[in-house]
Structure 1
Amino acid sequence: MSLRRRTLIAATPALLAAPALLHAQALEKPKLTLAVGGKNLLYYLPLTIAEQLGYFKAEGLEVQIVDFAGGSQALRALIGGSADVVSGAFEHTVNMQAKGQRLRAVVLMGRAPQIVLGVNPKTMPNFKTVADLKGKKIGVTAPGSSTNVMANFVLAKAGLKPGDVSIIGVGAGNGAVAAMRSGQIDAISNLDPVISLLQRSNDLKIVSDTRIVAEADKVFGGPMPAGCLYLPQTFIDKHPRTVQALVNAIVRADKWVQAAGPGEIIKTVPESYLLGDRAVYIDAFLAAKGALSPDGMFPEAGPETARRALASIDAEIAKAALDLKAVYTNDFVKVANSKYPKG
């Protein structure tokens, strides 16, 4: 065998790997840690789809997803430096700007919060109005999370302050269901599939349902962006290609979800997400689908809606002079939509 042929054979694996290697080199930080609070929720379905269908890998990313009990804990991981990016509620970007932290949302997963506030028919059989919740125990995914914000917001509209109720963290899975069924909590602010499971067993009377986009707009007085990916502005400035890769994967997932039927969803999500009942998960998916983003774009009026909601329950935010253009960008989403016009 000639020296030239031996050299070519030896080089073949390296040549085959070159495109992947070049792609990985093009990203400033291909290995990332992503924090999320309650990954099994329909709220974060596009994240799960991007992971399960290999969309992150297709963009040259290796994403380690760390799941917490609620969004406030995922946010703490980001601020503490143990996570690079959060899949969480949009309003955290507004809230943290008021606290001097520059975070920016880069791709939308939910165009309505999908949070449902409901009461326990066992412990509150005579419930009439939200004011009846005074002195009661309300379960949320985790204190400080968007489920807590939603509960506070609905309470405030009824003239109740956060201190008028007891807020209890119950997570986003079977623990939340058990807390309602056993009567440990009088009301719950949570998401699907937890809500659909409680509805199916008649363990929940719905008070406010933001899975319905029109109702969410009515509750919040405008479009209220929900699940998204957000990162520190410093990370975005240093790693724009990495951020673009993340956004590409989520936009593809957003579009896949809109085109998918219940059967495809059931096949794709992990079995543990179904909470032991496929029919309930299908109900939950159909209830949540309309509230999920079709293309990752943030509505221009969204940041002001979020600020107004937070200001109604937080005097510091009400006083703060905020730059709402700095809490989100559609620039990466526009590029992703041109790359994946059909998902």
Structure 2
Amino acid sequence: MRNLDFRHVASACAALLVFMAHSAIAKDTPEKPALTMAVGGLPGLYYLPVLTASQLGFFKEEGLDVTLEDFAGGSKALEAVVGGSADVGAGAYEHTIFMQAKGQHYRAFVLMGRAPQIAVAVTKSKADTLKSLADFKGAKVGVSAPGSSTDLVLTVALRKAGVQRNDISVIGVGSGATVISAVSNGQVDALSNVDPMMTKLQRSGEVKILVDTRTVKGTQEVFGGTMPAATLYASDSFIQKNPKTTQALANAIVRADRWLQTASDADIVKMVPAVYLLNDKALYIDAFHNVREAYSPDGLMPADGPPTALRALASFDSRLDPSKIDLKATYTNDFARKAAEQAR
């Protein structure tokens, strides 16, 4: 009789373990496994953590089938998220502040960049007349897209030099090969843009860098503190309805952030699609090293980041009233913190 009881107990225990295993799997299964992410310029190193998570299968390993929709700049990607054609955005943190000012609630839930990775430069043909930002009045300046973070960095830097946004002409030139065309065709006198294009133009002598936020030090010189850059963000309603999906996305990006901290040059070249290497692997690697320290090591929003961003945005857009912004509602570290704990 005891043997029979033991067998029953053993069988019940085995069944319980199977049930618990299935429950654990179900618990971690994303509510929305197939989703679309709008990216504000995938060829740029600004979004390398997204590309890394996609290329190395980190999204898939989290149970996600992510379609990456590429746009000319962060503001265009934001439009896709707000319009509903994309579920999640990959873009600058400041978008969440701007949207709150408009009465719409979006939240960054994992950080990819702790520095904007944007350089402001003058073209070779205009270097003699545009010797500093103070000389930019009347200049035609290319940005990835008006309203994007390239525009923000440009505006903040110009104001420090005594030049207002309406003193210049801003032209959207994207962040890929179109940047090179804009310079070679004389479409712009100066640029505010991202790597690898800025490194390519710098190496060829086509531009002279005047402002550089590709490093933490350069960022602090422009903004007076840590300026959070690329994030994944979504509407509050999406996050509330899809917490497991949001966690899975954060897990994948934190893994990508960490991978980029130690990846070798060979690892990078192997991971990045050939079309993004610009037929010059050495150039791409140089650009990567120019921005490497700008990537977040852990996906967490630094404490001084949101206040720094708010100050910058208030100087960028006089319609923004800082006193009406609840910074704690523009981001959360809950998902990134949990992702970091799971990765230990």
Q: TM-score, normalised by structure 2?
A: 0.91
- 2:105 is aligned with 1:66: no
Match of 2:162 in 1: 159
Q: Which amino acid aligns with 1:286?
A: H
Q: State the partner residue of 1:292.
A: 295
Q: 1:36 matched to which residue of 2?
A: 39
Amino acid at match of 1:151: L
The structure 1 segments of at least 4 consecutive aligned residues displaced by more than 3 Å after TM superposition are 18-25
- 2:140 equivalent to 1:137: yes
Alignment identity in percent? 54
Show the counterpart of 1:244: 247
Query: 1-side partners of 2:287 and 2:27: how far apart?
Result: 37
2:270 counterpart SS class: helix
Contact 1:115/1:209 (<8 A) preserved = yes
Choose the corresponding residue for 1:338, options 338, 341, 344. 341
Report what 2:235 is aligned to.
Answer: 232
Counterparts in 2 of 1:139 and 1:20: CA distance versus 1, 3 Å? farther
Judged with a 3 Å threshold, the aligned counterparts in structure 2 of structure 1 residues 125 and 23 are, in CA distance, closer, same or farther, namely farther
Please tell me the residue identity of whatever aligns with 1:311: A
Deviation of 1:95 after TM superposition, in Å, equals: 1.2
Per-residue CA shift, 1:145-189, capped at 9, x if unaligned?
Answer: 110111111111122221111111111111101211232100000
Q: Is the contact between residue 173 and residue 275 of structure 1 (CA under 8 Å) also seen in structure 2?
A: no
Bigger CA radius of gyration: 2
From 57, 78, 82, the counterpart of 2:81: 78
- 2:9 is matched with none
Shift of 1:218: 1.9
* Paired positions, count: 325
Q: 1:330, CA displacement in angstroms?
A: 0.7
Instruction: Determine whether 1:178 maps to 2:181.
Output: yes
* Displacement after TM superposition at 1:319 (Å): 5.4
Structure 2 residue 273 is matched with structure 1 residue 262 = no
| Structure 1 residues 73 and 24, CA gap change in structure 2 (3 angstroms) | farther
Which of residues 314, 318, 321 is equivalent to 1:315? Answer: 318
* Cα offsets for 1:283-341 (capped at 9, x unmatched): 00111111111110110111110000010121121355110011111111111011112
1:259-286 residue CA offsets vs partner (Å, 9 max, x unmatched): 1011110110111111121111010011
**Given residue 209 of structure 1, which amino acid in structure 2 is its aligned partner?**
D
* Structure 2: tracts of 5 or more residues without a match: 1-17
**Matched residue of 2:126: which SS?**
coil
Post-superposition shift, 1:123?
2.7
Question: Is 1:51 the counterpart of 2:54 in the alignment?
Answer: yes
**SS in structure 1 at match of 2:341:** helix
Partner of 1:115: 118
Aligned with 2:125: secondary structure?
Answer: coil
Structure 2 counterpart SS, 1:63? strand
Inter-partner Cα distance in structure 2 for 1:146 and 1:22: 39
CA RMSD of aligned residues (A): 1.8
- Distance in 2 between residues matched to 1:241 and 1:254, nearest whole Å: 20
The alignment's TM-score, normalised by the length of structure 1, stands at 0.91
**2:218 equivalent in structure 1:** 215
Seen in structure 2, the aligned counterparts of structure 1 residues 134 and 248 have a Cα distance that, compared at 3 Å, is: same
Q: 2:256 aligns with which of 244, 253, 256?
A: 253
Deviation larger for 309-318 or 102-111: 309-318
